[in-house]
């Protein structure tokens, strides 16, 4: 593919003199371009919603969410996956990222990895990809050989395929079952897709994973009830969540958190139902972790 035909590779007419302007003019120009990102993502909301519904269905049936890509795009996928564990208690075996070039590529560029089609297939074979899984391919250009190959292989195995690119007419969009392409236009620095394109990709990935967590019962009202209280900050956040959800005093919220064995959702059900820890845990299990459904059933 001719790179010059890609929106992400074109020159931005607004920034051709960025090396000559004052610092305040420089950042004003960057900020003006960044404002276009949210509008580009807005145009893709129907496709993002479609992806959330499809991914949530697979995830709730036991499938894994596998993010895959190279360079900045791969790192953004890995970051989204990593943050699901402390935020929503999602096991790293249920959601994870695969980088072209392996784990070391997270911190250093691995030359040639993004051009290897065989490497992508091998990486998915290593994690034993199945038809139950979801593969989210990420590439700003939509033409990265590694990511194209990953989507092609995943589709052949029956896995759900989602592409996140910033070029509408891309090979990845044609392959994926759900194609998402917020077109942010040329970057302030030509071809530096860690800027607007990266911001757009992160917004899309955040929406997909958060939407799936909501659908999977890991949110009550708008509270992160599956947060893991693994440090002082998160313990306090857990106490605050219990207080906000039930109106109970912070001191009592902490007591219930301890009685619930540090499980915020269980603590809330205990408070709202008057049940003990074992009973509350059982009810949550029966209702796929959805507190709202538990409380509705108890009425």
pLDDT tens digits, residue range 167-178? Answer: 988 999 999 999
The one catalytic residue in 114, 171, 254, 281 is 114
247 Cβ contact partners less than 8 Å away, ≥ 6 residues apart: none
Tell me whether residue 223 is in a domain: no
The answer to whether residues 150 and 135 touch, using CB atoms and an 8 Å cutoff, is yes
Domain shared by 77 and 184, yes or no:
yes
Residue 2 pLDDT grade (very low, low, confident, very high; cuts 50, 70, 90): low
For residue 114, the model assigns a pLDDT of 87
On whether the CB atoms of residues 172 and 135 are closer than 8 A, the answer is: no
> In whole angstroms, how far apart are CA 220 and each of 75, 83, 158, 186, 276?
29, 19, 32, 40, 20
- Residue 125, token pair as written in the block: 């074979």
What whole-number percentage of the chain has pLDDT above 90? 83
Are 201 and 242 found together in one domain?
A: no
Average pLDDT value for residue range 146-166: 97
In a domain, 249, yes or no: yes
The pLDDT of residue 6 is: 74
Is 117 annotated in the active site? Answer: no
35 and 149 inside one domain: yes
The three-state secondary structure class of 97 is strand
Query: Does residue 226 sit within a domain?
Result: no
Q: Kindly give, in sequence order, each residue whose CB lies less than 8 Å from that of residue 112, ignoring residues fewer than 6 positions away.
A: none
**Are 200 and 259 part of one and the same domain?**
no
Same domain, 179 and 282: no
211/237 same-domain check: no
Q: Do residue 138 and residue 260 come from a single domain? A: no
pTM of the complete model: 0.90
Counting every residue written for the chain, the total comes to 299
CB 242, CB 257: distance < 8 Å: yes
pLDDT for position 4: 56
How many domains does one find in the chain? 2
Report if residue 170 sits inside a domain: yes
In a domain, 220, yes or no: no
Check whether residue 77 and residue 185 sit in a common domain.
yes
The gap from C-alpha 69 to its chain's centroid, in whole angstroms, comes to: 13
SS3 state of residue 16: coil
Q: Share the mean pLDDT of the chain.
A: 93
φ/ψ (deg, to 5) at 23? -60, -40
| Structure-token pair, residue 163 | 């592409």
In a domain? residue 224: no
The beta strand positions in the chain, using DSSP E, are 65-69, 95-99, 134-138, 160-164, 178-180
- Say if 225 falls within a structural domain: no
Kindly state whether residues 207 and 256 are assigned to the same domain.
no
| Full domain range(s) for residue 105 | 3-215
Residues 245 and 184 in one domain: no
Q: Catalytic: 83?
A: yes
Last residue of a domain, one of 159, 183, 215: 215
137 and 70: one domain? yes
């Amino acid at each position: 593919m001719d790179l010059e035909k890609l929106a992400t590779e074109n020159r931005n007419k607004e920034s051709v003199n960025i090396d000559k302007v004052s610092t305040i003019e420089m950042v004003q120009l960057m900020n003006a371009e960044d404002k276009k990102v949210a509008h580009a993502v807005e145009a893709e909301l129907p496709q993002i919603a479609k992806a959330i519904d499809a991914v949530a269905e697979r995830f709730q049936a036991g499938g894994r969410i596998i993010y895959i890509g190279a360079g900045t795009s791969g790192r953004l996928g890995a970051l989204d996956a990593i943050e699901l564990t402390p935020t929503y208690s999602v096991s790293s075996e249920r959601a994870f990222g695969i980088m072209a070039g392996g784990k070391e590529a997270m911190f250093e560029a691995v030359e040639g990895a993004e051009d290897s089609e065989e490497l992508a297939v091998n990486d998915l074979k290593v994690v034993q990809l199945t038809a139950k899984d979801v593969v989210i391919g990420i590439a700003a250009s939509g033409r990265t050989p590694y990511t194209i190959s990953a989507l092609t292989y995943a589709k052949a195995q029956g896995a759900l395929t989602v592409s996140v690119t910033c070029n509408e007419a891309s090979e990845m969009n044609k392959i994926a079952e759900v194609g998402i392409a917020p077109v942010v236009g040329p970057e302030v620095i030509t071809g530096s897709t860690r800027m607007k394109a990266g911001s757009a990709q992160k917004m899309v990935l955040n929406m997909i994973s958060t939407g799936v967590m909501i659908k999977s019962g890991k949110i009550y009202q708008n509270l992160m009830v599956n947060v893991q209280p693994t440090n002082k900050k998160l313990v306090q956040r857990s106490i605050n969540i219990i207080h906000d959800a039930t109106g109970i005093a912070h001191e009592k919220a902490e007591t219930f958190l301890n009685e619930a064995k540090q499980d915020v959702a269980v603590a809330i059900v205990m408070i709202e139902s008057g049940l003990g820890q074992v009973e509350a845990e059982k009810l949550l299990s029966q209702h796929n972790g959805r507190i709202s459904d538990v409380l509705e059933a108890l009425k």
